[in-house]
């Protein structure tokens, strides 16, 4: 039985890595994909390990293994560093027959292990990408990210503010313009009036969170959210006088890259569920104070609907170049 090895940090996993793993898996009976990690890595290793397991699931001879990177010394020349790697690999995986890589370290590493090295696309001609390129500009290199990795880099956009300020309409328009997903206000699917209970609020919060993660899986660079759990908390406090703990838990769990605060300088529209048109200024201040007290930066969105769309579009275009 021929056992191969691929090593990496997979920060993040990309199609170049997967092409290497596929190449290696076709040339041995068993392939170990070793993920090394440090405590200060920008992406937790548990997430990277799950990416590997998800994307490599179809290759039955591939085994994913994670190990703390406490054996390297980046101050040394590569010839000496790879000697340290080899010593670790001998202990971690007693028998490796062949090393696969796309990197310059492949030859000295394999030599220290006293095994052959098979190089794959070292010039990155077939898949011209690196993890460094993706980290520096994930939006530009979006096409090199596998489906399971993309949610990590999606920009989560929250359209925030009191009722009847155009958030729902704008979420749909922006999602259509950028060919992506949006998260609707799920409460409107679950209640038909503002006479609701604490149990209803909990159910709304859970459903909103589940919908967020469902839509996140399929988002294309941007995810527009018509509401958030801070909004749910505000309305729970307004109608019930308290906020169920589960809503606070959701607020901690889901974070957004940017908040856009929709002002009340558009006409209030009665849709059968809204009933706070007489206190618009008061609710605007309550929403604003909520963000300020939580130290969440936000961008004001004002003007007619066309002005709002153009303002949002300009901001989104800037985000996509970052």
Cα 1 to Cα 304: distance, rounded to the nearest angstrom: 69
Both 166 and 296 in a single domain? yes
For residue 85, CA distances in Å to 71, 76, 93, 114, 299 come to 7, 12, 12, 13, 48
Considering only residues 162 and 278, tell me which one the structure prediction assigns the higher pLDDT. 162
Residue 223 — very low, low, confident or very high, per pLDDT cuts 50/70/90?
A: very high
Q: Is residue 146 domain-resident?
A: no
Q: Tell me what pLDDT residue 272 has.
A: 64
Q: Is residue 187 domain-resident?
A: yes
**CATH code assigned at 164:** 3.40.50.300
Residue 52 — very low, low, confident or very high, per pLDDT cuts 50/70/90?
A: very high
Both 293 and 181 in a single domain? yes
Both 131 and 167 in a single domain? no
pLDDT exceeds cutoff 70 at 273: no
**CATH code assigned at 37:** 3.40.50.620
Q: Tell me what pLDDT residue 193 has.
A: 72
Last residue of a domain, one of 81, 104, 138: 138
Both 187 and 56 in a single domain? no
Q: Is residue 283 domain-resident?
A: yes
Both 86 and 182 in a single domain? no
Q: Is residue 57 domain-resident?
A: yes
Q: Is residue 133 domain-resident?
A: yes
Pick from 2-6, 51-55, 123-127, 144-148: least confident:
123-127
Among 138, 127, 83, smallest CA distance to 105 is for: 83
CA atoms within 13 A on the CB side of 151: 15
For residue 32, CA distances in Å to 85, 267, 273 come to 15, 62, 57
How far, in whole angstroms, is CA 233 from its chain's centroid?
A: 24
Last residue of a domain, one of 75, 107, 138: 138
pTM value?
0.91
Both 117 and 181 in a single domain? no
Q: pLDDT tens across 163-185, in order?
A: 889 999 999 999 999 999 999 99
Both 158 and 283 in a single domain? yes
Domain count across the chain:
2
Q: Which domain holds residue 76?
A: 3-138
């Amino acid at each position: 039985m021929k056992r191969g090895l691929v090593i990496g940090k997979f920060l993040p996993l990309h199609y170049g890595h997967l092409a290497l793993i596929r190449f290696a898996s076709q040339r041995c009976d068993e392939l170990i994909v070793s993920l090394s990690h440090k405590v200060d890595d920008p992406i937790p290793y548990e997430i990277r390990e799950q990416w590997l397991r998800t994307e490599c699931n179809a290759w039955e001879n591939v085994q994913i293994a994670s190990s703390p990177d406490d054996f390297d010394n980046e101050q040394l020349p590569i010839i000496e560093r790879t000697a340290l790697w080899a010593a670790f690999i001998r202990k971690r995986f007693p028998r490796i027959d062949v090393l696969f890589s796309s990197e310059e370290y492949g030859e000295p590493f394999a030599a220290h292990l006293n095994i052959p090295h098979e190089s794959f696309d070292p010039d990155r001609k077939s898949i011209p990408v690196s993890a460094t390129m993706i980290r520096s500009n994930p939006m530009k290199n979006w096409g090199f990210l596998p489906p399971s990795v993309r949610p990590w880099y999606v920009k989560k956009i929250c359209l925030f503010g009191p009722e009847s300020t155009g958030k729902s309409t704008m979420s749909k328009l922006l999602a259509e313009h950028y060919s992506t997903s949006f998260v609707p206000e799920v409460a409107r699917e679950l209640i038909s009036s503002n006479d609701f209970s604490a149990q209803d609020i909990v159910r709304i919060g859970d459903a909103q969170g589940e919908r967020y993660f469902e839509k996140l899986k399929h988002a294309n660079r941007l995810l527009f959210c018509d509401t958030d759990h801070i909004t749910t908390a505000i309305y729970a406090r307004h109608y019930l006088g308290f906020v169920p703990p589960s809503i606070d838990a959701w607020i901690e769990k889901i974070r957004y890259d940017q908040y856009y605060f929709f002002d009340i300088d558009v006409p209030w529209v009665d849709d059968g569920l809204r009933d706070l048109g007489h206190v618009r200024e008061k609710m605007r201040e309550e929403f604003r104070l909520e963000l300020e007290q939580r130290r969440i930066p936000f961008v004001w969105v004002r003007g007619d609907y066309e002005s709002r769309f153009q303002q949002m579009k300009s901001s989104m275009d800037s985000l996509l170049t970052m």
